């Protein structure tokens, strides 16, 4: 773990069915984030392509890990000296696609995470279109001397996902999302983000879609559950510094990770 803070930006925007336009918007927001000092730039789930409701066009617009979207992220990372995290609709092996998050820097793709828990809830059936990722595929990577772990949207409701990342050394949990609006959904989103930070004594960095489909409220939360920076319901960028010394102090005074008697056992 480095002694220097890592500056992170959450970029809240509304991707749509225009893949080229999505890449252009990501380029503009990355430039803004880098100009504000960020070296880790986080975008929402489905940043490469999104339609609501989901349909067959997902498969038609899915890309590989060396396709135009991933290539664009690597180019932006090199140009601005940052690591970029964003959601990709990835081509699958059958009729369904993968809901994937990639982290890319100037050297290439640093981590790949495929959403494990699909959003078959609140009247939605994501599994009609998406195949789940494997339960043994926990994605972590290094950024600015900190270990960063990836999970996606609905995974947030399953605390064991975050805990497996912590067991792999994560200091920061990054959560790209498309957290769909609905009764009490803003409350659920903020409560679960805060809980994952407090129970794991880790930073939580979340990037959501804005309204009218998403709840927005992208946030950076410290290991004690304090919101350091955030965006409201519209498009925007929020920047905050993640201080390794804070993680150390919190874990010294609240040694819950050391004191717990349960351990996550793979299925």
User: Using one digit for the tens of pLDDT, what is the confidence trace for 196-212?
Assistant: 999 999 999 999 999 99
What DSSP line would sit under 236-256, residue for residue? Answer: EEEEEEE-HHHHHHHHHH--H
Q: State the catalytic residues.
A: 45, 115, 153
Give the whole-angstrom CA distance, residue 66 versus residue 102: 11
Q: Which residue ranges of the chain lie beneath pLDDT 50?
A: none
What's the whole-model pTM score? Answer: 0.95
- The vertex-104 CA angle with 102 and 110, nearest 5°, equals 80
**206 in Cβ contact with 10 (< 8 Å):** yes
| pLDDT one-digit tens code per residue, 75-100 | 999 999 999 999 999 999 888 999 99
**170 in Cβ contact with 264 (< 8 Å):** no
- What pLDDT is recorded for position 137? 67
- What pLDDT is recorded for position 262? 78
- What pLDDT is recorded for position 71? 98
Q: Of 168, 121, 153, give the one whose Cα is nearest residue 266.
A: 168
């Amino acid at each position: 773990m480095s002694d220097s803070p890592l500056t992170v930006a959450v970029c809240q925007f509304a991707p749509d069915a225009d893949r080229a336009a999505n890449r252009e918007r990501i380029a503009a927001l990355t430039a803004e984030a880098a100009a504000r000092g960020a070296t880790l730039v986080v975008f929402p789930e489905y940043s490469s392509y999104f339609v609501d409701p989901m349909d067959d066009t997902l498969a038609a617009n899915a890309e590989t890990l060396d396709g135009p979207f991933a290539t664009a992220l690597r180019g932006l990372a090199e140009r601005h000296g940052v690591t970029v995290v964003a959601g990709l609709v990835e081509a699958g092996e059958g009729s369904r696609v993968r809901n994937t998050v990639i982290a890319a820097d100037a050297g290439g793709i640093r981590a790949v995470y495929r959403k494990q828990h699909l959003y078959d809830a609140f009247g939605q059936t994501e599994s009609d279109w998406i195949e789940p990722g494997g339960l043994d595929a926990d994605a972590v990577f290094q950024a600015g001397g900190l270990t960063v772990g990836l999970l996606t949207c609905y995974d947030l409701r399953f605390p064991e996902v975050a805990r497996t990342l912590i067991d792999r050394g994560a200091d920061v949990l990054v959560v790209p999302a498309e957290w769909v609006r609905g009764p009490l959904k803003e409350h659920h989103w903020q409560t679960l983000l805060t809980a994952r930070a407090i129970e794991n004594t880790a930073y939580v960095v979340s990037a959501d879609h804005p309204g009218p489909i998403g709840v927005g409220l992208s946030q950076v939360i410290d290991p004690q559950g304090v919101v350091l920076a955030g965006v409201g319901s519209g498009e925007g960028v929020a920047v905050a510094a993640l201080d390794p010394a804070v993680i150390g102090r919190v874990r010294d005074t609240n040694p819950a990770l050391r004191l717990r008697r349960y351990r996550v056992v793979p299925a």
